[in-house]
Amino acid sequence: MSEALYQSIVLESSRNPRHAGRPDVFNAEGQSENRMCGDKVSVFLNGADLRHEAQGCAILAASAELMCEAATGKTAGEIAILSDKFEHLVTTGQETPELGELNALASIAQYPSRLRCATLPWDALRDAIARAGSAGGPANG
Amino acid sequence: MSTTLLPLDVHAVRQDFPILSQKVHGKPFVFLDSGASAQKPKQVIEAMRFVMEEQYANVHRGLHYMSEKASDAYENVRDKVAELLNAGSREEIVFTRNATESINLVAYTWGRTALKPGDAVAVSEMEHHANLVPWQMLRDAHGTELRIIKITDSGELDWNSLEQVFADGKVKLLALTHMSNVLGTYTPVERLAKFAHEHGAKILLDGSQAIVHRAVDVRAIDADFYVFSGHKLYGPTGIGVLYAKAEILDAMPPFMGGGDMIASVSYQKSTWAKPPHRFEAGTPAIIETIGLGAAIDYVRGIGFKNIAAHEQHLTEHALSTLSQIEGLRILGSAQDRGGVISFVMKDAHAHDIATLLDRQGIAVRAGHHCAEPLMGRLGVTSTARATFGLYTLPEEIDALATGLERVRKIFA
C-alpha cells in the first residue's frame, strides 16, 4: 500500500497523544532537533512518567507518542535495548513482536528521507536519560 | 482547462525532456520542483555528449586543433549569455559554478575593496541564504553593516522600510532577489535600480528564479550585478553566471588565484588578466558551459514571450485551483507573482504532504527552501512548494490538487 506509513495508529498517535505536553515538574529534559527541516522534540523524565513535546510532522509526533507509551516504566538499560530494536525496525522494516505498537512505524524503512523524523524522539530520550544519569536521577536504572 | 489554449505546445516541449516519461512509484511522474533544479532537454544532453565525444580538450592553452575547437565553443557561450541578458559586452560575463558562487565572488572581491568598514549592504527579508550569508561573512570579516528591508504581509518589498534603510546614506549595495524562491514575488527591479543609484548605491540582483521565466535586460534594468545558475535554466549543474558592468569588473581584484586568470607570473609578482578571465581561475566547467549554451539556445528558441505567458497561465490556474482546497493557505499574494507557490495545510505538516504526494508520483519541495529567516517572518517553520517549468501542464496542477485533497482527507 502506497500510504502504509500513514496508517491509523500513526495518525491517531499524532492527533490524540496521551503523553504530550511539558510537565510542571520533571527530573530531566532531553532535546533533539533536525536543523534541516526545523523539527524539534523535547522529552521529559519525571520518575516513571515520560512526556514529550514534539514540533514537526506527523511521523515525529507519532513516534514520540509511541515511544513514550512503550518506554514508560522501563529502566535506562531496558530503554537502551528497546532503542536499538527500534533503530533496527525503522532501518530494515522487519517487525518484531516485542516492539508492539512501535511496529506501526516499520514502513518508514521505505522512506529513507523520513527516517530522521522517527528517530529524533529517541535521540531526545537518550539525551534526557544521560542528563538524569549525570544528575543522579531515578531513571538511571 | 483545455491545453489547446496554451501559449506554447507543452506536449511537444515535453518530448524534449526524456526524464518526464518516467513513472515514479508506478504513477506518471509529475515534476513540480523545477524551482530547485530544472530537468534537462535532450538538446542540452546532446551538446554535452557531442563535446566529450568529438570536440574536447582544455581551453585557452592548447595550440592544437581540439583545444581551439573547445575554446571556440566555450567562448561562444559567453556571447550567448551576453545576448540573453542584453549585456553591453561579452567581457561583462563571468562564468562561475552557480549563483551562490557569483554572489560570494562579488562579496569577496568588490565587497572588500569598493566597500569600507561602516558602509552598509541592504538585503530583503525574502532572500535565499545565498544572498544573505555572504553579506554576513563580509560584515564579520570587513566591518560592513548588514541591513534588512522588510516585506509586507502580501510578500512584496516594503517601500517605507527601503527608504528607512537608505535614509542615512550608508547603504552602498542593494542586494535583492529578482523573484522570491518562496513567495514567487517579482521585485520591481527597474524602480529599485533607479532608487539605489539615486542614493549612491549599486544594485545586485539574484536572478536564479526570474531568469527562467522572463526576458532579462540588464541594461534596461540598469543592474550593476546580475547572477543566475545554469541548472535552473534547463542547463547542467556546475555552471553559473555573474554579470557585472565593465567598469566595475575592471576595478575588482581577482577572486581565486591560479591558471588562466593571470597576465604574467614570476616568483616575485603576478599581474592579472583582464575581465572576465581574471575571475575564472583554473580549468573551467567546459562541458557544462557548453551545455548551458545549448540550454540558452533552447529557451530562446521557444521565446520568452511564450514562456512568460505559459508561466502566467499556470500560476493563475494554480492559484485558483489550490485556493479551493479546504484548509490550504498559499503564502504571499504579490500583484506581480509567478510560478513559485508555497503553501501550508491545516493539520498536515509540509513533510507529510511531500511524502504523500511523492507516493502519487508528484514531486514538490518541502522545508524552509534555504530561507529560514523568511519562514520566521511568515510565522511558519516549513512549507510545501510547487514550482513550474516550461514543460509543466495545467493537468499536472490538477493532479497536485487531487493529491492534496487526498492528503487533506488522510489528516481530516
pLDDT digits (tens, 9 = 90+) for B29-78: 999 999 999 999 999 999 999 999 999 999 987 789 999 999 999 999 99
CB atoms B350 and A58 under 8 Å? no
Q: Which residues of B82-107 are buried (b: 16+ CB within 10 A; e: fewer)?
A: bebbebeebbbbbbbbbbbbbbbbbb
Cis status, amide bond into B276, omega within 30 of 0: yes
pLDDT digits (tens, 9 = 90+) for B160-193: 999 999 999 999 999 999 999 999 999 999 999 9
Could you tell me how many CB contacts below 8 A there are between chain A and chain B? 46
Chain B residues with CB-CB distance to A117 below 8 A: 351
Mutate to test the interface with A, among B344, B351, B407 (most CBs of A within 10 A): B351
What is the structure's pLDDT at A138? 47
Mind telling me how many Å the CA of A60 is from chain B's nearest CA?
A: 10
Residue with the larger pLDDT of the pair B89 and B376? B89
Beta strands in B254-370 (DSSP E): 262-265, 270-272, 328-330, 340-345, 362-363, 365-367
What is the structure's pLDDT at B5? 57
Grid cell at residue A85: 530494536
| Short-list A27, A22, A20, A108, CA closest to A66 | A20
Span B280-306, mean pLDDT?
Answer: 97
Domain range B3-31+304-411, its CATH number among 3.90.1150.10, 3.40.50.80, 2.40.10.480, 3.40.50.620: 3.90.1150.10
Span B129-144, mean pLDDT?
Answer: 97
Catalytic residue among B262, B370, B372, B411: B370
Residue A116's CB is within 10 A of a number of other CB atoms, namely 18
What is the structure's pLDDT at B322? 97
CATH number at residue A18: 3.90.1010.10
Residue with the larger pLDDT of the pair B405 and A112? B405
In a domain? residue A139? no
The structural domain count of chain A equals 1
Asked, colleague to colleague, whether B3-31+304-411 and B46-300 share their fold, the answer is no
Partner residue facing A59 (CB), from B352, B366, B381: B352
Per DSSP, the residues of B278-302 read GG--SS--HHHHHHHHHHHHHHHHH
In a domain? residue A84? yes
Q: Which residues of chain A have pLDDT under 70?
A: 1-2, 135-141
| Arithmetic mean of pLDDT over chain B | 95
Beta strands in B125-189 (DSSP E): 145-149, 171-177
What is the structure's pLDDT at A139? 45
Q: Do the beta carbons of residue A40 and residue A52 sit within 8 Å?
A: no
What is the structure's pLDDT at A2? 54
As a whole number of Å, the CA-based R_g of chain B is 22
CB atoms A38 and B25 under 8 Å? no
CA atoms of B369 and B364, how far apart (whole Å): 11
State the helix-helix crossing angle for B394-411 and B350-358, rounded to 10 degrees: 120
Partner residue facing B381 (CB), from A5, A6, A38: A38
pLDDT at residue B260 greater than cutoff 90? no
CB atoms B351 and A57 under 8 Å? yes
Instruction: Give the CA-trace dihedral at B196, B201, B202, B207, to 10 degrees.
Output: -40
In a domain? residue A140? no
Chain B residues with CB-CB distance to A1 below 8 A: none
B129 at the A interface (CB within 8 A)? no
* Domain ranges, ordered by start, for chain B: 3-31+304-411, 46-300
pLDDT at residue B287 greater than cutoff 90? yes
Q: Where are the alpha helices (DSSP H) in B28-64?
A: 42-54
What is the structure's pLDDT at B3? 45
Helix (H), strand (E) at residue A42: strand A39-46
Partner residue facing A58 (CB), from B349, B359, B366: B349
Span B118-122, mean pLDDT?
Answer: 98
What is the structure's pLDDT at B1? 45
What is the structure's pLDDT at A36? 76
CA atoms of A87 and A82, how far apart (whole Å): 9
Chain A residues with CB-CB distance to B350 below 8 A: 57
Which residue in A has a C-alpha nearest to residue B368's C-alpha?
A: A37
Judged by DSSP in three states, B21 sits in: helix
Span B235-264, mean pLDDT?
Answer: 95
Mind telling me how many Å the CA of A38 is from chain B's nearest CA?
A: 6
CB atoms A58 and B411 under 8 Å? yes
What is the structure's pLDDT at A137? 45
Q: Would you tell me which residues 260-289 of chain B have a C-beta closer than 8 angstroms to some C-beta of chain A?
A: none
Chain A residues with CB-CB distance to B351 below 8 A: 37, 39, 56-57, 59, 114, 117
Domain range B46-300, its CATH number among 3.40.640.10, 3.90.1660.10, 3.20.20.70, 3.40.366.10: 3.40.640.10
Range(s) of the domain holding residue A34: 4-134
As a whole number of Å, the CA-based R_g of chain A is 14
Partner residue facing B367 (CB), from A2, A37, A55: A37
Grid cell at residue B24: 515514479
pTM metric for this prediction: 0.92
CB atoms A57 and B375 under 8 Å? no
Sign of the CA dihedral B283, B285, B287, B291? negative
What is the structure's pLDDT at B6? 66
B45-49 contacts: CB < 8 A, separation 24 or more?
B45/B18, B45/B291, B46/B294, B47/B290, B47/B291, B47/B293, B47/B294, B48/B236, B48/B287, B48/B288, B48/B290, B48/B291, B48/B294
CB atoms B352 and A36 under 8 Å? no
Span B354-383, mean pLDDT?
Answer: 91
Judged by DSSP in three states, A22 sits in: coil
Residue with the larger pLDDT of the pair B140 and B375? B140
What is the structure's pLDDT at B259? 86
ipTM: 0.83
Chain B residues with CB-CB distance to A13 below 8 A: none
pLDDT band at B330 (very low <50, low <70, confident <90, very high): very high
CA atoms of B368 and B385, how far apart (whole Å): 10
What is the structure's pLDDT at B12? 95
| Short-list B132, B105, B115, CA closest to B172 | B115
Whether B267 is catalytic is no
Mind telling me how many Å the CA of A85 is from chain B's nearest CA?
A: 25
Q: Would you tell me which residues 339-368 of chain B have a C-beta closer than 8 angstroms to some C-beta of chain A?
A: 348-352, 355-356, 359-360, 366-368
pLDDT digits (tens, 9 = 90+) for B92-105: 999 999 999 999 99
| Short-list B208, B197, B229, B183, CA closest to B330 | B183
As a whole number of angstroms, the longest Cα–Cα distance in chain A is 47
